[in-house]
Structure 1
Amino acid sequence: MRLKTFHAKNMKEVMELVRNEMGPDAIIISTEESSKIGGARVTAALEAGATPPPPAKTPQTQQTPLQASEIARANAEASPSIIPSPEFDAADINAVLNHHGLPFETAGHLGAAARSVDCASLPEAFSTALETSISFSPLTDYTSRPIILVGPPGAGKTVCAAKLAADAVLHQRSLKLISTDTVKAAGIAQLDHYAQLMKKTVQTAANAKELQSLVQSADTTNALTVIDAPGTNPFDMAELESLLKLIKSVDAEPVLVMPAGLDPLDAQEIAGIFAKMGCQRFIATRLDAARRYASIIMAARPGYLSVAAISRSPFVAEGLEPASPLALARLLTTLPKSQARSQSSDRKNGQ
């Protein structure tokens, strides 16, 4: 299967490009149209063995030798800008996959997808590959359903709660901050400190009944309710049952908060466990403290969770970044300097 991403000013023009180059057998993988990308973007695929349409024939007109020479020179000058040479090769793709330590099957699938697309840059190739391999579902500032942040201890739930609160204040939304982590006093103190800086208060709920009462009393008009749940060991059934009671007591969306840098298979298993608890998406945190992000990809594989946002800083002022294929691709392809120097040296030595 050959994949390619097409760009144009609007959807009509981009679909015409797809038809002209790939013909009626083209399979549309994804479409996007917004001002953020400067028009419309479509990713299409052509099955192996399918024949693309022949180039359209244009009427031949009589040309003088001078006219023919001028046209040939213009075409030669325009060709490099129309069909840019890729700035990467298969070795670059393999270097990214090897660095992040993806399991063999997933690395093979992602690598094949990245090699099959016609893109000028490595991040664009991985962006298209990620678009067809994992799921994205960004958090938006108009979310009205309460959000309850869940996850293992130390994942960064309290900081994420503060970042969501800061975003709500920035968009002039009413805000209710609730902490259910009454056992760990430091967690409440930390969230309360952030809240005071925003001139907000934190309410606490010691059990499911108290949480239900607080959520029901919240003003739902242009308001956001953020609930900071206690850290939960995903492999401890008693802790999971306690968390499930909190989730079921209110009509809130449970969103998993999971740090980057975990073992990829552990991350996938944790995502699967919290998916059974009702989570549909997750926030990847502590990206600044990790250099390998295979855990994010494994947690977002089909059948698990969607990537909602990423956090690259412990500072509340540096908020959550909405997840997108290109944003994650740029993170994956930005290798540490020592790794980049090693690749450059290998190429010079002909390895």
Structure 2
Amino acid sequence: MQVKRFFAADMRQAMKLVRDELGADAAIIGTRRVAGGVELTAALDYQAPAAPVQANPALEAELRKTQAKIASARAELAYREASEAPKDRQLFANESLLAPELPATPVKLERPAPAPAPEAPAPSIDPTALEQMRSELHGLRELLEMQLGSMAWSQLQSRRPQQAGLWRRLQRMGLPAELANGLLERVSNIHEPRQAWRMLLAHLAQSIQTPKEEPLEEGGVIALVGPAGMGKTTTLAKLAARYVLKYGAQNVALVTMDSFRIGAQEQLRTLGRILDVPVVQVDPSQSLLQALAPLARKRVVLVDTAGLPANDPALRLQLDALANRSIRAKNYLVLAATSQSQVLKAAYHGYKRCGLAGCIITKVDEAVSLGEALGLAISQHLPVAYLADGPRIPEDLQVPRGHQLVSRAVSLQTPEEPSEEAMADMLAGLYQGAVRRVG
């Protein structure tokens, strides 16, 4: 047996070192946290545990009989202990029959009260040891999840190679694991690969919600919200130009709530001069309702908001103003397709308090995949109102449909096949998510 220790910054790097040097047949026999990372002990040619022995009916029957006898003996012992004291009281009470000349006096047996046990001193908990134990448990859990993901992916490739191929294609599109798993379950009975792929894309297109009518056609107050850098102001310019070219400038107005970013208000004023539409600035001391009062006769009012950090108190005030029922604003979350999945999720959870009517996906021309943004829109039931795929105003703004978004996502999929480690990590994350939901 070859035993070797590996040191790395985290568990994933340590596992990669084990695979590269000892191969996939190596077994992990120990892990522990050390200064600067983790220490992982692995062994090659580690003897696997013997296969489980088939159940023996006769042995199981004898075991059940033994368990029944033990339970019966415990019950009989408890009954004897409970009936012992009454028998003693009956024995002393019958003394009047043995000595009739003496008056029968009942004797009450009093058992001495048990002495109170001395209170044990509360064990002192060492915070350092507790934190070390928590860290070791976390590392062990991470290791188990990685091993489960690797085992699940190996079994999937060997038993269901068609499903494994579909998993790879969905990963190239950037779709989240939970969404991909649900789509694959819906085509699990289709054995022809091309037909399964076409049906899978059809189910994906049906899962994407799009508005039945364009928001600009409906009119009203339309606010664009989202973190900084998502493209809110550029998208608002495209919406304003799109409306002016179609209906004229007399029924549209622009409102800016961004008093934090340098040049944001001047940028919107320049746009207003070009389109010949009024631009209203909301001062910090002024409410949004007051700012919108002079624009009550405008058919469409486009509101640009500030992209503030999630912990900024000004963001809460801004979202509360947009959530005011008197304004009846339709708030659209602007999501850049170039952002990572965790950034998109954080944006949704940070801005959902104002009430979201849908989302607008921007910077599609710069993105390497569209699956992350579509996955968030599907999981959170956000209709995709617009798709921005270029800098031109207003040409690079489309009202999408589900099949168009799927076609665009397929065209943007990465040409490289995902690695075996990436697929194993994906299944490990899927398993971890299922455990959290059950817990």
TM-score by length of 2: 0.50
> What residue is the counterpart of 2:171 in the other structure?
98
Establish whether residue 229 from structure 1 lines up as the match of residue 305 from structure 2.
yes
In structure 2, C-alpha distance between the alignment counterparts of 1:264 and 1:97, rounded to whole Å: 15
> What residue is the counterpart of 1:183 in the other structure?
260
In structure 2, C-alpha distance between the alignment counterparts of 1:339 and 1:135, rounded to whole Å: 29
Structure 1 unaligned blocks of 5 or more: 1-88, 341-351
Establish whether residue 284 from structure 1 lines up as the match of residue 374 from structure 2.
no
| Paired residue type of 2:305 | A
Q: Is the 8 A contact 1:195 1:201 kept in 2?
A: yes
The C-alpha deviation readout for 1:283-337, integer Å capped at 9, x for no partner, is: 0111111112222123213445222211111221324211321111111111468
> What residue is the counterpart of 1:209 in the other structure?
286
> What residue is the counterpart of 1:262 in the other structure?
339
In structure 1, C-alpha distance between the alignment counterparts of 2:193 and 2:405, rounded to whole Å: 16
| SS class of match (2:224) | strand
Q: Among residues 360, 363, 388, which one is paired with 1:311 in the alignment?
A: 388
Q: CA deviation at 1:189?
A: 2.1
> What residue is the counterpart of 1:136 in the other structure?
210
Structure 2 unaligned blocks of 5 or more: 1-161, 418-439
The C-alpha deviation readout for 1:256-293, integer Å capped at 9, x for no partner, is: 11111322244234223322321131101111111122
> What residue is the counterpart of 1:19 in the other structure?
none
Distance 1:179 1:93, change over 3 A: same
Q: Is the 8 A contact 1:145 1:252 kept in 2?
A: yes
- Which aligned pairs between 1:1-351 and structure 2 lie closer than 5 A? 93-113=166-186, 125=199, 127-137=201-211, 139-173=214-248, 174-207=251-284, 209-220=286-297, 223-233=299-309, 235-236=310-311, 238-249=313-324, 250-335=327-412, 338-339=415-416
Q: Is the 8 A contact 1:100 1:293 kept in 2?
A: yes
Distance 1:241 1:128, change over 3 A: same
Q: CA deviation at 1:231?
A: 0.8
In structure 2, C-alpha distance between the alignment counterparts of 1:202 and 1:95, rounded to whole Å: 49
> What residue is the counterpart of 1:69 in the other structure?
none
RMSD of the alignment, in Å?
3.2
Q: Is the 8 A contact 1:177 1:225 kept in 2?
A: yes
In structure 2, C-alpha distance between the alignment counterparts of 1:208 and 1:111, rounded to whole Å: 53
In structure 1, C-alpha distance between the alignment counterparts of 2:354 and 2:400, rounded to whole Å: 22
In structure 1, C-alpha distance between the alignment counterparts of 2:302 and 2:382, rounded to whole Å: 20
Single out whichever of 131-140 and 197-206 deviates more from structure 2. 131-140
In structure 2, C-alpha distance between the alignment counterparts of 1:337 and 1:179, rounded to whole Å: 38
Distance 1:102 1:338, change over 3 A: closer
Distance 1:291 1:243, change over 3 A: same
Distance 1:308 1:215, change over 3 A: same
Q: Is the 8 A contact 2:238 2:393 kept in 1?
A: yes
In the comparison of the two structures, how many residue pairs are matched?
Answer: 251
Q: Is the 8 A contact 1:179 1:205 kept in 2?
A: yes
Q: CA deviation at 1:90?
A: 6.9
Distance 1:245 1:328, change over 3 A: same
Q: CA deviation at 1:219?
A: 4.3
Q: CA deviation at 1:220?
A: 3.3
Q: Is the 8 A contact 2:204 2:406 kept in 1?
A: yes
| Paired residue type of 1:231 | G
Q: CA deviation at 1:126?
A: 5.3
In structure 2, C-alpha distance between the alignment counterparts of 1:114 and 1:159, rounded to whole Å: 40
In structure 2, C-alpha distance between the alignment counterparts of 1:208 and 1:256, rounded to whole Å: 25
Distance 1:261 1:319, change over 3 A: closer
Q: Is the 8 A contact 2:174 2:372 kept in 1?
A: no
Q: Is the 8 A contact 1:144 1:220 kept in 2?
A: no
Q: Is the 8 A contact 1:258 1:284 kept in 2?
A: yes
Greater CA radius of gyration, 1 or 2? 2
In structure 2, C-alpha distance between the alignment counterparts of 1:208 and 1:129, rounded to whole Å: 49
